[in-house]
Amino acid sequence: MAEIQLRNISKRWGSFVGVANFDLTIADREFLVLLGPSGCGKTTTMRMIAGLEDATEGDIIIDGKRVNNLDPKDRDVAMVFQSYGLYPHIDVYENIRFPLKVRKVDPATHDERVMRAARMVELEDFLHRKPAELSGGQRQRVALARAIVREPNVFLMDEPLSNLDAKLRVSTRAQIKNLSHELQVTTVYVTHDQVEAMTLADRVVVMKKGVVQQVGSPTEIYDRPANTFVASFIGSPAMNLITGRITHGTFAGHNVEIGGLDAPDGEVVLGFRAEDAALSDVPAQINGRLYTIELLGDATMLAVRAGREMVSVKAGKEFRAEIGDRVSFSVPTNICHLFDAGTGERIA
């Protein structure tokens, strides 16, 4: 097992900064998710850990050993890519066994290790098929088994579910979660999908333009986003963010007025989650017209046009109204989030 220390690592190509001053310790057996939009530096960070990219600055330490100058094959990490990377001319059994042959592991142990890995991802009935005969989800499970069979110190997973359809993504995500619990191996997982991050991670690192925005448990990041970028990136739907001004403890924006806030006067961004808003039969803190109504089965998601703002509100499944109807709702003061209007940083 392995602890990973990333000590102020940076990656630059000329004047372009891919990753800036990334400093973090990933605990032994931790499942860490690097989360952010395309181009934020999350895959570059993982590739530096793997040795597929050289760090411009900083130290990468795995299990107490500096590995900056080690080749990928000597770092004892196993990678799972979104493209599967399977060999089309050999069957599933041989694809899973391939890392053992390359690393010259005792052939007497191969069958037992391959069968164990195949059982973990429920592939026992597909071992003699070629990759072309498998579905996308089955191919991704072969890639997982090929990583498992190596018994590495570290798993690195680069958007492994992005090529799967919605249903397969859910089932494969559950499989990865179960494998993580069963194998207890330090894992770094890259994704742009905040649902994957929230469901899989012990801790999440949210990145933007090569810079770490926040590190914390999924609950911490959801409940106390460090800035407006994190607030808008985490959650489905994203947190409502309304620009306005606080005067004597009362926030006022377009068709929005919320009092009782413990904050200094000035321009702020007020945030709240869709599920924290409560519909009212009389004019309340926020008033507007229904823009869209989405039936989700267990709830009804409303988009409300409040002045210039579009606000998401989660109502009960029994809610009934028509697009264009006027609605009012309130938000408890104690769950409102306040951010600096200039910097976007959270106001304590």
Mean pLDDT of the region 269-275: 95
Q: Which fold has domain 238-340?
A: OB fold (Dihydrolipoamide Acetyltransferase, E2P) (2.40.50)
Distance separating alpha carbons of residues 89 and 194, to the nearest angstrom: 36
Tens digit of each residue's pLDDT (9 = 90 or more) over 75-104: 989 888 877 778 899 999 999 999 899 888
The pLDDT tens digits of the residues spanning 194-251 come to 999 999 999 999 999 999 999 999 999 999 999 999 999 998 899 999 999 999 999 9
Of the chain, the percentage scoring pLDDT greater than 70 comes to 100
pLDDT level of residue 150 (50, 70, 90 thresholds): confident
Position 34 scores a pLDDT of 97
286: alpha, beta or left? (left if phi > 0; alpha if psi -120 to 50): beta
Q: Which residues in the chain are classed under CATH 2.40.50.140?
A: 238-340
- pLDDT-derived band at 1, boundaries 50, 70, 90: low
Residue closest to 154 by CA, chosen among 282, 235, 46: 46
Count the Cβ atoms, other than its own, within 10 Å of residue 291: 15
CA–CA–CA angle 132, 136, 139 (5° rounding) = 65
Select the more confidently predicted residue: 339 or 262: 339
pLDDT reported for residue 236: 86
* Whether residue 237 has a cis bond before it, omega within 30° of 0: yes
Q: Is the pLDDT of residue 166 over 90?
A: no
Mean pLDDT of 253-264: 84
Does pTM surpass 0.85?
yes
Question: What mean pLDDT comes out for the span 48-62?
Answer: 96
Average pLDDT of the chain, as a whole number: 92
Which DSSP letter does residue 264 get? -
What DSSP character marks residue 12?
E
In the chain, list all ranges with CATH 3.40.50.300.
4-232
What average pLDDT does this structure show over 43-48? 96
Q: Please state the rounded mean pLDDT for residues 27-34.
A: 96
Distance CA 70, CA 315 (A): 55
Q: Provide DSSP, 63-111.
A: TTEE-TTS-GGGTTEEEEETT----TTS-HHHHHHHHHHHTT--GGGHH
Fold of 4-232: Rossmann fold (3.40.50)
Q: Do residues 175 and 164 make contact, with C-beta atoms less than 8 angstroms apart?
A: no
- pLDDT value at 320 more than 80: yes
Strands 266-272 and 240-247, by their bridges, are: antiparallel
Amino acid at 145: A
Confidence at residue 122, expressed as pLDDT on a 0 to 100 scale: 87
Tell how strand 211-216 and strand 250-253 pair up.
unpaired
Rounded Cα–Cα distance for residues 119 and 316 (Å): 42
Say whether pLDDT at 172 is over 90.
Answer: no
pLDDT of residue 174: 87
